[in-house]
Every structure is written in structure tokens, then in C-alpha cells.
Structure 1
Amino acid sequence: MYIIAGLGNPGSKYEKTRHNMGFRVIDLLAEKYHIDMNMKKHKAVCGTGVIEGRKVMLLKPQTFMNLSGESIREAVDFYKIDPETELIVIYDDISLAPGNLRIRKKGSAGGHNGMKNIILHLGTQVFSRIRVGVGEKPAGWDLADYVLGGFSKEDEALVKEACEHAAEAAAEILTDGPDKAMNDFN
């Protein structure tokens, strides 16, 4: 069993915001692989199915971004998975231009509060992650206002394509490992 967790904030008012890239990628995976996201457990909306021959749980924590680790830790413990090899976390990154992806097997939170909470709850920085670029906040903007804001029409087109590539990268991590996905998508 693998867990693919997409980070975001619950509720329709956050749906199209920069902070919800993880949720958007999970929705794409669920649609492409016909996985019903109809379960509510592990403080998340989730669904189980098969992606490229691998059994997966798709997870959208409902704890709000800054407490994402609570949900992911609960699911990791319940399914007894090894985060280093069986967990993929997908989230937004303001240090990447809109539409860019960055895949890593480990690393720090890089200032992302959702990732800080996940690392705290898991006790490790070693797990696969896919970062979807949303662009740097403009000078003078409050960070929270920026990440909870929407995209321009031009950036939305870039981000939509990046989410599709992130979904492809997640499937490739399952089949060929993170190194191959890093070579293909970074």
C-alpha cells in the first residue's frame, strides 16, 4: 500500500487557491484512475484504488494546511507503511515559478508550514515529495494572503499543466521510483 497525500485547505472558498495544489493533483489522480474519494477517515477525505498496478490510498487532509501531519501520521500508522518508500506528499511551493515542478526524496520543510507539521509528526524528512510551483509572493504582500489567493489567467494555464505533470510524476514514482521521476520531471 502506498499513500499519496495532497496538501490543501478544506472548503470551497480555498478550492482555487495557490495553497491547494496538492488537492488539485489528488483530484486528477482520482479521476484518471477511477478512485472514489468517498471515505472520511484519518482526518481526511480519501479513497483507495490501484494506480499502475500499485494499491494506493489518495489522501486529502481536512485538518487545514498547518496540521497536515496529524492526518498523514494517522494513515501511515494505520496502514503500517514506511514513509521513506511508500509515501508521496504533493504541495505548493512559492520558491518555484508557476508551472514548475520539483521532485525530491527527502529534504527540509523549506518554510512550508504543512511540511513542517508532517516532518514533526513523522519524525523524518525522508519521504518523496512533489512540489508544484505557484510563484513568489510580490513585495509588500502578506504570505497568507498570497497563498490563499487565486491565479491570473496566464498562471492558471501553467499551473493546470503542472498539476497534470505532477499526477504523472506520482504514478511514475510508484512504478519506477523517485530517481526516474526526478530525471523526467525536474
Structure 2
Amino acid sequence: MFLIVGLGNPTKQYEKTRHNIGFDVMDALADKYNISISENKHKALCGKGVIEGMKVVLAKPQTYMNLSGESVAELVNYYKLDPESELIVVFDDISLEPGNIRIRKKGSAGGHNGIKNIIAMTGTQNFMRIKVGVGEKPKGWDLADYVLGHFSTEDRAKVEEAIGHAMDATVLMMQGEVDKAMNDYNSKNK
């Protein structure tokens, strides 16, 4: 079984913001594979289903971004999963342009507070992740204001394409093809 977690913030005011791109990818996976992400448990909205023959739990932590690890650790423990091989986390990255994704097998938090909390709560930074580009904050902007803001129409179109790539990469990663996913999608970045 795989736990696929999309990071974001709960409540309507954060829908479709840059910081909620992980939620957008979970919603797209749920739509494509007919999984209902509606069960509220382990501090997350969860849905169980099957993607390409593999059992999954899709999760959208409801703890707000900076405490995402509380939910992820509860889910990992409840399902008795190995975060180093059965966890995939999808989240926003300001160092990537909108439309680009980057896949990693493991790594540091890179300044992302949601990832920082997941590392702290699970006790490992060795989990697979998909970073979805939201673009660099403009000079003079507050970072929180930027990531909690909405995409331009042009950038949203690029992000929709990136969501599709993130979904395809997720399937490859679940199939044990992380290197292929990295080769296929990291190289698309400009």
C-alpha cells in the first residue's frame, strides 16, 4: 500500500492557491481513479482506492501546512507503512517555474515548513516527493502572501499541465520506477 499525501491548507479561502498545489494533485488523482477523499481521520481528509492495480490512501492533511507531519506520522503509523518506500509527498516549490515538477527520492526540507514538520514527525527525510513549481516570489513580496495567493490565468494553465505530470510521475514511483520518473520529468524543466 502507498500513502500519497498532498500538502495544503484547509478551508475554502486557500483553495487553488500556490501553497495548495498538493491538494490539487490529490483531487486530480481522486477524480481520475474514482477515489473519494472524504473520510476525516488522522487529522486529514483521506480516501482509499486502487491506482493501476496498487492499493493507495490519498490524504490531504487538515492541520495547516506547518503541522502536516502530525497527520502524516499518524497515517504512516496507523497503516504500518515504511515512509522510506511507501510514502509520496506532493507539495509546492517556489524555486521551480509554474509548469515544472521535480522528483526526489529523499532530501532536506529545503526551507519548506510542511516538509520540515514531516521530517521531524516521521523521523526520516528519506521519503519520495514531487515538488510542483509555483514560481519565485516577486521582489518586495512577503513569502506568505505570495504562496497563499492565486496563480495568474497564464500560470494556472501551466500548473494544470504540471498536475498531469505529477499524477503520471506518482504512478511511475509506485511502480518502483523513481529513476524513470526523475529522468522523464526532471529533464522537462527549463
TM-score when scaled to structure 1?
0.98
Contact 1:52–1:174 (Cα < 8 Å) also in 2: no
For 2:2 and 2:175, how far apart are their aligned partners in 1?
A: 11
- Runs of 5+ unmatched residues, structure 2: none
Contact 1:70–1:121 (Cα < 8 Å) also in 2: yes
One-letter amino acid matched to 1:142 = D
State yes or no: 1:13 paired with 2:8: no
The residue number in structure 2 matching 1:59 is 59
- Runs of 5+ unmatched residues, structure 1: none
Q: Which consecutive segments of 4 or more residues in structure 1 shift more than 6 A?
A: none
Matches within 5 A, 1:25-36: 25-36=25-36
Q: Secondary structure at the match of 1:116?
A: helix
Aligned length: 186
Q: Secondary structure at the match of 2:3?
A: strand
Query: Percentage identity across aligned positions?
Result: 67
CA offsets 1:91-145 (integer angstroms, 9 cap, x no match) = 0000001111000000010000000000000111100000000000011100000
CA offsets 1:31-66 (integer angstroms, 9 cap, x no match) = 100111121101000100000111000000000000
TM-score when scaled to structure 2?
0.96
For 2:84 and 2:180, how far apart are their aligned partners in 1?
A: 16
Q: Secondary structure at the match of 1:16?
A: coil
Moved more, 29-38 or 174-183: 174-183
Matches within 5 A, 1:1-186: 1-186=1-186
For 1:120 and 1:33, how far apart are their aligned partners in 2?
A: 31
Contact 1:9–1:63 (Cα < 8 Å) also in 2: yes
How far off is 1:179 after superposition?
Answer: 1.3
How far off is 1:177 after superposition?
Answer: 2.7
Q: Secondary structure at the match of 1:69?
A: helix
How far off is 1:176 after superposition?
Answer: 3.5
